Structure 1
Amino acid sequence: MAQRDDLMPTTAPSVSASALPASGPRRIAIISASVGAGHDGAAAGLADRLAAHGFLVDRYDFLDLLPARTGRLICDVYHRMLTWAPAGYQRLYAATEHASRPGALWRALFRGAEQPTLRALEPDTCAVVSTYPGASQVLGTLRRRGLLRVPAFTYLTDFSVHALWVAPGIDAHLAVHAVPAAQAHAQGAAAVTVVGPVTGPRFAPATDEQRRAARDRFGLPGQEPLALLVAGSWGVGPVRRAAAEIRETGVAVPVVVCGRNQALADALRGDGIEHAFGWVEDMPGLMHACDVLVQNAGGLTSLEAFAAGLPVLSYRCIPGHGRTNAAALDEAGLAAWIREPADLGPVLAELLHGPRGRAQRAAGLELHRSAPGPVPAIAAGTGPQPAAGAQPVTSRRPARRRPSLAVAGAAATLSLGIAATIACTEAPARLPAVTHYLDGDW
């Protein structure tokens, strides 16, 4: 039988358990990706909890580990697809959602991240955790080749599991709920464990006093029901349409968070949506002020809303993971998925005032209370645990080295291919309407 090239041994350096210290703090590396804010947010929460348990924690951005700066380019292309060509992105996502392995170009690109990943990890690293699927693919390959000799974990940050999340060689896949755990298991993931979510301690149900103070602080109405509409750190999706439709129901006043999309916030105010915010540092406080969360991606903000005791509904979801996450959250009984505009008002009313809202609040809070979080599972795989006590969390950026011509060529080809998809998947008549895509109203 021919030996696969991508499993051939190399002369790369290795990270080995034999380098671990006999005593003292143990070091765990977390590899995330600054694609939106959800993967980094999960990594930050996990890092804080590991540090509180006495681990040294290093954090890396997978985009910095990819060759020839293609990480930033691919992130930008992904952002543009969601903004300008959502139908094209949906087709790409659907075509790869259940693939048995990444395509050849993706494999070449991931191969280019292997050496930078090994060089970045400190010799005394005792485990590596990925909160991003591309990083999981690289770590799984390094484990299979024997170049990474310490445990590698994937923390599944999404409620639905795309095939890229499942990487042969990963020691354990940690899920926030039984629904994504079942999806991961069905795709062949190793050692799938339900560990629950990681959110900040300030995401908790509000008292009446906290609710009043938060509304005053954000300049929000004191008595009316408030629907918090979120669209991720990029502010993508048909946000203006969703905000207008929430207002038209008369059931709740829309309060919109646009992330870093200031143009969207300005456009909403022009539409008469009075409470439109850009980037909000105090999201726990804003959740304290509101009564229900309306979301379109099913990411970290939904988990934070569950912890804050807010009922959640999914509406006008973005393509790809936005829709599959909405379906998974609906299956789990954690968030209603509204597919028809006519259902928006009645479901909002049920969540605000009826038994459906009480049931979802209870389910969301139980999600955070019923599982221990990922730290015990990770700690159990690293050997003897360190003494408890806060340790530093360090963000590290790997040194840049020139990639091989083959890897650089594959990266360029992949980026051009994605860009070509944007150009080809939308009807020409729609492409001039750039302003509508940019403000998320597609």
Structure 2
Amino acid sequence: MTFTPGRFQATRTEGSDPPAGGAGGRRPRVVIIYASAGAGHDGASRELARRLRERGLLADCVDLADIFPWGLGRLLRGTYHGMLSRLPWIYGVLFAIGGNFSRAAPITRALLRPVWPRVLRALPPDTRAVVSTYPVVSQILGPLRREGRLAVPVITYLTDFAVNPIWVSPGIDVHCAAHDRTRAEARALGAGEVRVAGRMVSAGFGPGTDEEKRRARERLGLPPDARLALLVAGSWGVGAVAKTAAEIARTGVAVPVVVCGHNARLYRRLARRGTGPVFGWVDDMPALLRAADVLVENAGGLTALEAMACGLPVATYRPIPGHGRANAATMSRAGVTTWVRRRAALGPTLVTLADGTAGRAQRAAGLSLFASDPAGVVADVARGVEPGPTAVPANGTGPLVHGERPALVERASVPEASAEIGTALAAFPPRRALTWWVGLRTGAQELRTAARGLRGGVPGVRPDGRRPARRPDRQG
């Protein structure tokens, strides 16, 4: 096991299956297009590819950053990273605009149209289905499918519990949702066929015994008898992580155990403070999850799902703007997490989740997400088991499924949209203009760093001063 903070590296992953011959001819090939923006999207893509190969299909994973020309994909990823790390309020404003203005998705599709030929060239001739695990990818594949440029079915695997309008694109054949709540949100935004297909994580994640918990704590050097609150913030370690760790410690009911992912600066900061055990990149997350009593997270990402698969209750606290707050609301309504909205409620919630009946109910709700396998839906579509391309209504509200016309998109009114954007703007720190200027300068520095890393990735440093080895990215 290794606990090494590092920096994000972009990778392209392809299926390693050899060509299949025999009487049955070649096996169906599925191409999964993801975006290396954090670990939730590419982690889901790799696991889906693995399960499809187990079902006898060929599967490739392609990073959207490798499709964009002139290194624009890496530049955009660096910009996104910079906003989340330095100026999250800007991301919150942009997310609110995209979620409340009806022209956001059409404008996105128009801007992405020049990428169409490169996407089509990335698909091998024997492709039988294409899967999107990122909203921008869906805005490329949906129009291609709708205009007849893409002759094979397109599936969108909704990695988020909450559905932003950018996730929904006319022309998508099937949407795979985590929960009925997610399905309802997608349908309200005009999605056609939406199936509740459950979630998937790597095979190593599952409930452990008390003896496995004891051994994991001993091996990881964690307190054997304390109530442990595992705090994660994605592979990038973004959000109010240090503040949250301090607040967990001050409750006196749990010891914070923090995973910093690739954020070396956060690792050094927390290690100096000595609030509790601190890890950087974690290679054996199943052991660490089994050692904990409750998970505290801020974005509804991959580790939250891994915790649910391990039977660990999940609390969302101080969610990051944009998709973090949206996921917190939907996951809480679905009963798979508890959104702690006030600092005073943090301690009692941790106790209730770790030891009470609410925690047991939430464990059961989380485990139920893994009763079905999304790979089965994708495999059926690729093999032609599912109905062919769906018709598109003349009004362009979305595809028709078995004669059913989906509900029109329910957009927020102008006052509601203004209120959401106002909430995002309220996160802007009320300090002097100098603070704001320093933040902008820091964001510009992130962009320059991303630009310098276009050819070989962004350089990183470990706490010991050495560069980390390249490794596939995932959420720590």
Among 290, 293, 301, the residue aligned to 1:291: 293
Residue 373 of structure 1 aligns with an amino acid whose one-letter code is D
Aligned partners of 2:46, 2:336: CA distance in 1, in Å? Answer: 24
Residue 112 of structure 1 aligns with an amino acid whose one-letter code is P
Indicate the residue corresponding to 1:430 in structure 2.
435
Find the residue that maps to 2:382 and give its secondary structure. coil
Within 5 Å, give how 1:180-259 maps onto structure 2. Answer: 180-259=182-261
Q: TM-score, normalized by length of structure 2?
A: 0.76
Aligned partners of 1:215, 1:173: CA distance in 2, in Å? Answer: 40
Indicate the residue corresponding to 1:333 in structure 2.
335
Indicate the residue corresponding to 1:8 in structure 2.
none
Indicate the residue corresponding to 1:79 in structure 2.
81
Q: 61-70 or 153-162, which moves further after superposition?
A: 61-70
- Equivalent residues, number: 378
Shift of the alpha carbon at 1:274? 3.2
Aligned partners of 1:103, 1:68: CA distance in 2, in Å? Answer: 24
Shift of the alpha carbon at 1:301? 1.2
Q: 88-97 or 310-319, which moves further after superposition?
A: 88-97
Aligned partners of 2:302, 2:106: CA distance in 1, in Å? Answer: 31
Across the aligned residues of Structure 1 and Structure 2, the Cα RMSD in angstroms comes to 2.1
Indicate the residue corresponding to 2:376 in structure 1.
376
Within 5 Å, give how 1:82-121 maps onto structure 2. Answer: 82-102=84-104, 106-121=108-123
Shift of the alpha carbon at 1:384? 5.7
Find the residue that maps to 2:52 and give its secondary structure. helix
Tell me if structure 1 keeps the 8 A contact 2:186–2:194. yes
Tell me if structure 2 keeps the 8 A contact 1:101–1:163. no
Residue 176 of structure 2 aligns with an amino acid whose one-letter code is L
Tell me if structure 2 keeps the 8 A contact 1:67–1:112. no
1:359-415 CA-to-partner distances (Å, cap 9, x unmatched) read 11111112212xx22122112222368xxxxxxxxxxxxxxxxxxxxxxxxxxxxxx
Tell me if structure 2 keeps the 8 A contact 1:307–1:365. yes
Residue 62 of structure 2 aligns with an amino acid whose one-letter code is Y
Aligned partners of 1:95, 1:181: CA distance in 2, in Å? Answer: 22
Tell me if structure 2 keeps the 8 A contact 1:66–1:112. no
1:20-78 CA-to-partner distances (Å, cap 9, x unmatched) read x9633111000011001110011011111101000111110011112322111111111
Tell me if structure 2 keeps the 8 A contact 1:139–1:152. yes
Tell me if structure 1 keeps the 8 A contact 2:259–2:278. yes
Cα distance change of structure 1 residues 108 and 69 upon mapping to structure 2, 3 Å threshold = farther
1:164-208 CA-to-partner distances (Å, cap 9, x unmatched) read 100111101110111111100100011000000011111111112
Aligned partners of 1:129, 1:257: CA distance in 2, in Å? Answer: 30
Shift of the alpha carbon at 1:112? 2.3
Within 5 Å, give how 1:41-440 maps onto structure 2. Answer: 41-102=43-104, 106-369=108-371, 372-383=372-383, 428-431=433-436
Indicate the residue corresponding to 1:7 in structure 2.
none
Shift of the alpha carbon at 1:108? 4.5
Cα distance change of structure 1 residues 285 and 220 upon mapping to structure 2, 3 Å threshold = same
Tell me if structure 1 keeps the 8 A contact 2:129–2:382. yes
Aligned partners of 2:317, 2:168: CA distance in 1, in Å? Answer: 28
Shift of the alpha carbon at 1:270? 1.3
Aligned partners of 2:174, 2:76: CA distance in 1, in Å? Answer: 27
Find the residue that maps to 1:148 and give its secondary structure. coil
Aligned partners of 1:105, 1:377: CA distance in 2, in Å? Answer: 30
Cα distance change of structure 1 residues 432 and 101 upon mapping to structure 2, 3 Å threshold = closer
Cα distance change of structure 1 residues 29 and 436 upon mapping to structure 2, 3 Å threshold = closer
Find the residue that maps to 1:97 and give its secondary structure. helix
Aligned partners of 2:312, 2:133: CA distance in 1, in Å? Answer: 25
Find the residue that maps to 1:431 and give its secondary structure. helix
Q: TM-score, normalized by length of structure 1?
A: 0.82
Shift of the alpha carbon at 1:101? 4.4
Shift of the alpha carbon at 1:109? 3.8
Aligned partners of 1:337, 1:265: CA distance in 2, in Å? Answer: 25
Aligned partners of 1:373, 1:98: CA distance in 2, in Å? Answer: 32
Shift of the alpha carbon at 1:89? 1.3
Aligned partners of 2:290, 2:382: CA distance in 1, in Å? Answer: 38
Name stretches of at least 5 consecutive residues in structure 1 with no aligned partner: 1-20, 386-421
Name stretches of at least 5 consecutive residues in structure 2 with no aligned partner: 1-22, 386-424, 447-476
Tell me if structure 2 keeps the 8 A contact 1:130–1:154. yes
Shift of the alpha carbon at 1:430? 2.4
Cα distance change of structure 1 residues 354 and 240 upon mapping to structure 2, 3 Å threshold = same
Indicate the residue corresponding to 2:29 in structure 1.
27
1:250-271 CA-to-partner distances (Å, cap 9, x unmatched) read 1111000111001101101111
The structure 1 segments of at least 4 consecutive aligned residues displaced by more than 4 Å after TM superposition are: 432-438
Cα distance change of structure 1 residues 141 and 255 upon mapping to structure 2, 3 Å threshold = same
Tell me if structure 2 keeps the 8 A contact 1:99–1:163. no
